[in-house]
């Protein structure tokens, strides 16, 4: 079932974390922060919304790097119920940016993540400036040459410190939460 996150809460502070990565390292928010902003995205391996745009996510991350935007992706899904989202499977994607495993789902809860993909774009001081979509894609990639909402928003954050006032929410598979004891 598709889930849609809430609109951007401008200025909301990015919670810190310490999570293992598919490259063998452990990363916190400070480790992935860029000089002009930080993009934290919640993704997973199995979600058709993510799979449809993974190449575009990689492209946008690479295009944002010269603008001083740091990036990390986090997978928080219940790997017992969805084994394809487990840590060993995450390594198979070979992403060119830190892909972190939130096994206990505490980081997803701290961020209020709702779906995959769910994008959180922060300014240089850690205040939220973007909580929108990648582009017009859904379960299938949107039109080639369409507006790159995430890229344009984060480029604006890098240049001005402020995200766009008008934002279209992301849509994707709901986070697969573990049953709480």
Structural domains of the chain ordered from first start? 2-174 (3.40.30.10)
Q: For tokens 């909580």, what's the residue? A: 131
Q: How far apart are CA 79 and CA 112, in angstroms?
A: 19
Q: Please report, for residues 30, 46, 48, the alpha-carbon distance to residue 54 in angstroms, rounded to integers and kept in the order given.
A: 24, 11, 10
pLDDT in tens, 120-178: 999 999 999 999 999 999 888 888 889 999 999 999 999 999 999 999 999 999 999 99
- Please report, in angstroms and rounded to a whole number, the separation of the first and last CA atoms in the chain: 24
Q: What is the pLDDT of residue 152?
A: 98
Task: Give percent above pLDDT 70 in the chain.
Answer: 99
pTM of the model: 0.95
């Amino acid at each position: 079932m598709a889930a849609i996150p809430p609109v951007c809460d401008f200025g909301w502070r990015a919670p810190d974390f310490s999570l293992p990565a598919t490259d063998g390292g452990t990363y916190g928010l400070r480790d992935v922060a860029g000089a002009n902003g930080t993009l934290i995205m919640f993704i997973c391996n199995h979600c058709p919304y993510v799979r449809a745009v993974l190449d575009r996510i990689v492209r946008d991350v690479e295009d944002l790097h010269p603008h001083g935007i740091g990036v990390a992706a986090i997978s928080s899904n219940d790997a017992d119920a969805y084994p394809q989202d487990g840590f060993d499977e995450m390594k198979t994607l070979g992403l060119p940016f830190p892909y972190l495993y939130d096994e206990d789902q505490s980081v997803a809860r701290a961020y209020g993540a709702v779906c995959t993909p769910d994008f959180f774009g922060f300014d240089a001081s850690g205040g939220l400036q973007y909580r929108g979509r990648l582009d017009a894609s859904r379960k299938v990639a949107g039109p080639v040459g369409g507006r790159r909402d995430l890229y344009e928003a984060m480029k604006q954050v890098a240049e001005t410190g402020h995200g766009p006032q008008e934002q279209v929410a992301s849509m994707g598979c709901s986070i697969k939460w573990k049953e709480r004891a």
